[in-house]
Structure 1
Amino acid sequence: MPTIFDLINAKNIATYYESNGSNQIPYLGETLFPARKQLGLDLSWIKGFNGLPVSLKPSEFDAKATLRDRIGLNKIDTEMPFFREAMRVGEKERQDILRLMDSTNSQYLMPVINRVYDDATNLVNGARVISERMIMQLLSAGKISISANRLNYDYDYKMPASHQETLAGTAQWNDPDSNPVDDIRTWQDTVEDDTGVRPARAICTRKTWNYLLANKTIRLDMNPAGGQNIILTDSMLQQYLMSKLGITVAVYNKKFALEVGGAAQLFYPDDYFTLIPDGNLGNLYYGTTPEEADLMSGGTVAEVQIVNTGVAITTVKEPHPVNVETIVSQICLPSFETIDTIFVAKVAGA
């Protein structure tokens, strides 16, 4: 007869997640910042001045590295934030499981177990939400700010001030007479003049996209004979922006639930427009959590499994009362080697 520990453990939960939870459509940030794993907490990367490549001097084997000037070189060192949440099997679920395990109605056992697995899967999905929030903060502000459980993390990625702009007055895109095409072209020129890279993609929300759909300048350019009468669709506007400016716009309206109150919140904010280059923008680095480092080797009451590159699922046996605690933890932070080649504009709002 299996015990509750045989049914609810890190391996089974990870298998359940991989079979059911990991087939979700990736977040936008996950496609722009592919996941990578490294040991420990420290995150270091080299960023060239104004995004231009920094060549390394050749070195012989068994020789010390050649020292070089700091001019044109910005080495960023930081420590990745640590996130961890846990859940226990509730008393009711535990009693249901124990009762069903001892009865002949074993066909009713797995729905109860799956309910526990679903709770653990929600914790893993919460870990994905954290990384996506960090990436979208970077893409809209050049900074990451995290505040929870009396802890505050602030990471400034030193985005060039010349690659940020706030529109005012009639230049704001919620004014139908504004000229967003000229704005975007100017921002593309700025990035290209500074770095040699011309942004070919952009990110905005549905609200910001609707400003472009309603813009008189765009509508008149698409239909000089009667611009205000044109029925403009998303695909028509995408084709127009590609032919006019060479950009593809991702209209990103994904949301998450806030920790307090559960209200829906956009990952990427309204009234912003970010220009980005082709290709990956950086990496989402996962460090080694204490659970992975110290418990995964076995020999304890804990079991650990890794999903999504660096998210640790840990189950801990509790003998009295008989219970299982499930812990989901991660250490993660995005690098942003291409931050000098993006442009962030606040195009509307106060």
Structure 2
Amino acid sequence: MADIFELFNQKTVLSYLKERVITPYLGETLFPEVKHDTLEFEYLVGASNLPVAAKIHAFDTQAEIGSLEFNDQALEAAYIKKKYQIKEKDLIALQFPRTPQEQQALVGRVFNLIDRAVGDVRAEVEVMRMQALADGKLSLAIDGGGMLTVDYQVPTGNKEVLAGTNIWGTGTEDIIGDLERWASTLDEKATRAITSNKLASQILRNSKIIGYLFGKDSGRVATLGDLNSFLTSHQLPTIATYDAKYRVQSGNGTYTTKRYFPENKFVMFGDSTLGETLYGPTPEESRLLRQGNEEVTNVGNVIGMVYEEGLDPVSTWAKAATTAIPSFPEANNVFQAQPMA
């Protein structure tokens, strides 16, 4: 007779999470993940990376004292967690499996619940990264009340909302002119841009763009590869699209599908790492360490577990948790545009 807490002890769950292969989000490449042992972080934002030329001095005089124009920005990691109930029928079946195949299927079902909980937690971290990239701010509801708000201080001059005949898709827009203007605003050379498939399609259907690529009145259909080759040759950022989605569940149980990156945004930036995804410890990790579970020191950025609570009824759960917040020291060196309403 197998007990669920023997099958899914903490060491087994952590080993499973460490060994499984997951597909990284785009945000993980732009904001690499780093684990720390604190929940509070300080980093510097709001300054140009351009050097400030030193002054010429006479010999035997004191050197000019530099001034740091940075502003200290304090961040506190957000506590993100999710759990799924393991049904009592499955628990009983796990204790008395009729065949090894049935036991394997039931064990797989529990691991799937752990995967789902971990995936939901990772999705919320990606929401934060994409809000930072597209808007320069975080504004997320906290379960139980309140809001998580962070302003990464993207300069006002690094944002633009197009209007009227300048909106992409009107047929009168000057897309290359827009890209050149936005790129010239940044201190660092803009080499990369993120947008949606919808906006990319508007660019590729633009008659001026088709003319630039293939000549006037060409009937050819442009691809993103054609466009990026042209942009590279003109010292403009290459464009990638991001259309991944997630769902949110309301209090009445209904689901709404949302996008990580807004469909109407276009963001350009340089080669530098934009920031980091800062992970801290969770209360679950701290408790396991106090209980002498040394294997918890090998936990990744998201911890998973199977646990039991309550007496009537007894509830068994597959749970995942993390504490995380994106840093964004390069917030001064991105351009956030809204070319469509």
Structure 2 length-normalised TM: 0.87
1:184-223 equivalences under 5 Å are 184-191=179-186, 195=187, 197-223=188-214
Select 1:33's aligned residue among 31, 34, 40: 31
Q: What are the Cα deviations for residues 259-295 of structure 1, in whole angstroms up to 9, with x where unaligned?
A: 3333322110011100011131111000111111232
Q: Retained in 2: the 8 A contact 1:304–1:313?
A: no
1:333 aligns with 2:325: yes
Which SS does the other structure have where 1:11 is aligned? Answer: helix
1:64-213 equivalences under 5 Å are 72-100=69-97, 103=98, 105-149=99-143, 150-191=145-186, 195=187, 197-213=188-204
Q: Retained in 1: the 8 A contact 2:134–2:261?
A: yes
Which SS does the other structure have where 2:160 is aligned? Answer: strand
Q: Retained in 1: the 8 A contact 2:80–2:322?
A: yes
Q: Distance in 1 between matches of 2:90 and 2:165?
A: 59
Give the fraction of aligned pairs with identical amino acids, expressed as a percent.
28
Q: Distance in 2 between matches of 1:271 and 1:317?
A: 45
Amino acid aligned to 1:203 = I
Deviation of 1:190 (Å) = 0.9
Deviation of 1:176 (Å) = 2.5
Q: What are the Cα deviations for residues 81-103 of structure 1, in whole angstroms up to 9, with x where unaligned?
A: 11122233211211221221xx5
Higher deviation after alignment, 311-320 or 241-250: 311-320
2:57: which partner in 1? none
Compared with structure 1, are the counterparts of its residues 110 and 305 closer, same or farther at alpha carbon in structure 2 (3 Å cutoff)?
A: farther
Structure 1 length-normalised TM: 0.85
Q: What are the Cα deviations for residues 115-134 of structure 1, in whole angstroms up to 9, with x where unaligned?
A: 01101111111111111111
Point out where structure 2 has 5 or more consecutive residues left out of the alignment.
Answer: 53-64
1:312: which partner in 2? 303
Deviation of 1:303 (Å) = 8.6
Which SS does the other structure have where 2:281 is aligned? Answer: coil
Q: Distance in 1 between matches of 2:126 and 2:23?
A: 13
Q: Distance in 1 between matches of 2:323 and 2:18?
A: 20
Q: Distance in 2 between matches of 1:153 and 1:332?
A: 12
Select 2:338's aligned residue among 314, 331, 346: 346
Higher deviation after alignment, 215-224 or 334-343: 215-224
Deviation of 1:80 (Å) = 1.6
Q: Distance in 2 between matches of 1:253 and 1:124?
A: 21
Q: Distance in 1 between matches of 2:3 and 2:238?
A: 54
Amino acid aligned to 1:205 = S
Deviation of 1:306 (Å) = 5.7
Q: Distance in 2 between matches of 1:296 and 1:89?
A: 25
Which SS does the other structure have where 1:49 is aligned? Answer: coil
Q: Distance in 2 between matches of 1:78 and 1:16?
A: 31
Point out where structure 1 has 5 or more consecutive residues left out of the alignment.
Answer: 55-67
Structure 1 segments of 4 or more deviating over 4 A?
68-71, 302-307, 317-323
1:65: which partner in 2? none
